[in-house]
Amino acid sequence: MNVLIVGGGAREHALAWKLKQSPRIGELFVAPGNAGTATIARNLDIAANDIERLAAAARARKMGLTIVGPEGALADGIVDLFHEQGLAIVGPTSGAARIESSKVFARDLMRRKGIPAAAGVVFDSYLAAKGYVESCPAPIVIKADGLAAGKGVVVAQSRGQALQALKDAMETKVFGASGEKVIVEECLSGREVSLLAFTDGATVTPMVPACDHKRVFAGDQGPNTGGMGSFSPPRFFDASLTRTVVRTILEPAIAGMAEAGTPFAGVLYAGLMLTEEGPKVLEFNARFGDPEAQAILPRLKTDLLEICLAIARKRLASVEIEWSPDPCVGVVLASGGYPGNYEKGFPIFGLEKTDPDVLVFHAGTRVAPDKGVVTDGGRVLTVAAMGHNMAEARRKVYDNIPRINFSGCHYRKDIALAEVD
């Protein structure tokens, strides 16, 4: 079966690497892909949000299935378009992807279903929001309603910072239409963790839990990024907690989506805070996380293509999903300056020097004539490894990273460190 993966990050490289192991895979395509996906699949020069051309490519190349990485294409209706054209695809429709693309929609869903989340109030007027924030004690969380490339949430440590965040979103409109509505939310404290699940709209099968590290520097210092590393599983997250999250959060969410006339199929990602009162939702995403996917997919023993086909055919209940007990760690190598401005086009050296059991998932990379593989984005690579325990997985990753180099390369040295002391 020919399969198309939409996207070009390390998450999509990890998806391609896993799908490639399926005995049923025919030709594998990635659009637009990167230098890493080019070594195991055929890259198509089509942007991830060019959904019309993606549908045309799926028809022309007789794709049996398309799998979507990034949220933008989902929100733009790639799944709706493929369904209209009779093309098989895994992921939520644009209406269902609102669970990620509208935090107000997600809040309404959680309220209807009694899903535990931070208390919050929605505003569409700047003055009303400002008045409310002036009456709230800090810390306080300000969230833009719509997609904002991971920058729409400010955890404000002071009232002044909260007011500035409100002004940025609602007056200066730094997120455009995404900031027309804002949620002012209670600040939760606890450990942060993600539990993702496969779902066909009825059955919900959880994956293994994972954590990501969002801040750019060790010790959770510096600005937020798309994610600087991840690991699975966090040691405090046991099977009983998974059952609790499935029962109190994931299953009610999927049931509520169906009741609202927007059934959700694909991968549902619950970003959670483990508070003293139990797990509460910070956000839902409508897709695999990046870099979570790079630490979760290596642990998956079941054929990912079988799982995806079962989702597309609404028979996920018939698939037994197995995971390796061995933990996995993934560390992101980023361009100098990221998440701020950075230069691209630096040659990447030493990619051939890593050990065979170490995974190097590419993100912002491309092949340049004469230069070989060069940097082409902020997050450049995720280096991942499994081990019999977390310490061994970390050791493998951190032993291998120094063999790879490019000008300006930086990475966090403390990914999953708190899991091993």
Question: Out of ligand GLY, ligand AMP, none, which partner does residue 118 contact, by CB within 5 to 8 A per kind?
Answer: ligand AMP
Q: Which is nearer to ligand GLY, 227 or 364 (CB)?
A: 227
376 binds, among ligand AMP, ligand GLY, none (CB under 5 to 8 A by kind): none
Closest approach of ligand AMP to the CB of residue 231, in Å: 15
Q: How far is the CB of 63 from ligand AMP (least distance, A)?
A: 31
Is the sign of the CA dihedral 299, 236, 308, 290 positive or negative? negative
How far is it, in rounded angstroms, from Cα 385 to Cα 157?
36
DSSP designation for 378: S
Q: Which residue is nearest to ligand GLY (CB)?
A: 289
C-beta of 292: minimal distance to ligand GLY in Å? 5
Q: Is 187 in the site for ligand AMP (CB under 6 A)?
A: yes
Contact (Cβ atoms closer than 8 angstroms) between residue 384 and residue 358? yes
Contacted by 218, from ligand AMP, ligand GLY, none: CB < 5 to 8 Å by type:
none
Closest CB 131 distance from ligand GLY, rounded Å: 31
Quick one: what does residue 289 bind among ligand AMP, ligand GLY, none, with the CB cut-off 5 to 8 Å set by partner type? ligand GLY
Contact 224, 339 (CB under 8 A): yes
Cβ-based nearer residue to ligand GLY, 292 or 303:
292
- Cβ at position 285, least distance to ligand GLY in Å: 5
User: What is the binding site for ligand GLY (CB under 6 A)?
Assistant: 212, 227, 285, 289-290, 292
Contacted by 141, from ligand GLY, ligand AMP, none: CB < 5 to 8 Å by type: ligand AMP
- Residue 23: exposed, middle, or buried by beta-carbon count in 10 A (0-12, 13-18, 19+)? exposed
Residues 218-243 as b or e (16 or more Cβ within 10 Å = b) = eeeeeebbbbbbbbbbbeebeeebbe
Q: Are 210 and 295 in contact (CB under 8 A)?
A: yes
Q: Point out which span in 148-156, 249-257, 341-349, 382-390 binds ligand AMP (CB under 6 A).
A: 148-156
Q: Are 66 and 311 in contact (CB under 8 A)?
A: no
Contact predicate 99/112, CB 8 Å: no
Q: Provide, rounded to whole angstroms, the least separation between the CB of residue 148 and ligand AMP.
A: 8
Choices 35-43, 185-193, 229-237, 291-299; region in contact with ligand AMP by CB under 6 A: 185-193
Tell me how far apart the alpha carbons of residues 284 and 194 are, in angstroms, rounded to a whole number: 10
- Does residue number 282 form part of the binding site for ligand AMP (CB under 6 A)? yes
Which residues in 126-145 contact ligand AMP (CB under 6 A)?
Answer: 141
User: CA 376, CA 368: separation in Å to the nearest integer?
Assistant: 10
Strand duo 372-375 + 120-123: pairing: unpaired
CB of 290 to ligand GLY, least distance (A): 5
Cβ atoms 208, 202 nearer than 8 A: no
Token couple for 105: 């929609």
Rounded Cα distance, 147 and 137, in Å: 27
Residue 347 near which of ligand AMP, ligand GLY, none (CB within 5-8 Å, type-dependent): none
- From residue 89, how far is each of 75, 167, 315, 361, 399 by CA, in Å? 14, 40, 14, 23, 39
Amino acid at 391: A
Q: Would you count residue 283 as binding ligand AMP (CB under 6 A)? A: yes
One of 47, 153, 358, 420 touching ligand AMP (CB under 6 A): 153
> Is residue 306 involved in binding ligand AMP (CB under 6 A)?
no
| Closest approach of ligand GLY to the CB of residue 286, in Å | 10
Measured from the CB atom, the residue of 141 and 246 that comes closer to ligand AMP is: 141
- Report, in Å, the least distance between residue 217 CB and ligand GLY: 17
Q: Cα angle at 129 between 126 and 132, to 5 degrees?
A: 150
Question: Does residue 305 contact residue 389 with C-beta atoms inside 8 Å?
Answer: no
**Residue 155 near which of ligand AMP, ligand GLY, none (CB within 5-8 Å, type-dependent):** ligand AMP
What DSSP state is assigned to residue 41?
A: S
| Residue 271 in the binding site for ligand AMP (CB under 6 A) | yes
| Chain positions contacting ligand AMP, by CB under 6 A | 118, 141, 150, 153, 155, 185-188, 192, 214, 271, 282-283
